[in-house]
Amino acid sequence: MLLTAFGGFMWLLFTAMLVLAVVALVMAALAREDAYRAADKKTKTFWLVILGVTVAVNVFVPFLFLQIAGLIATIVFFVDVRPALQQVSGGGRGGRRGSSSDGPYGPYNGGR
């Protein structure tokens, strides 16, 4: 019984890793090539290859070390590369560009 529950948990974990990798691959493919250069985050081809290999490893190779390495690459894409791409592409925060001094009701003007 306990072994079956553990097997089910591991299946859910591996499925979640695969879904994250596929989502990251699609997002990487949809971003513009020049955004990668502008954000100084390697190249689009580099990220497509890394994330594509991650998806392939998750689907075809049941080797935990490679899956964890792919998970780390996926997390780096989501945490570092994707926000940088959104920033240079004008995305994020609903497309609204603001200043660091913007408050919830607009820009702070120093009491003027």
- Which two tokens mark 97? 């560009």
Residue 66 and residue 57 in contact, taking contact as beta carbons nearer than 8 Å: yes
Residue of 47, 58, 45 lying closest to 15 (CA atoms):
58
**Residue 95: pLDDT band by 50, 70, 90 thresholds?**
very low
Mean pLDDT of 40-64: 92
Residue 74 and residue 24 in contact, taking contact as beta carbons nearer than 8 Å: yes
Predicted local distance difference test score (pLDDT) of residue 12: 92
Give the tens place of pLDDT for each residue, 63-94: 889 999 999 999 999 999 999 999 988 765 54
Predicted local distance difference test score (pLDDT) of residue 25: 96
Of 4-8, 74-78, 98-102, give the range with the top mean pLDDT.
74-78
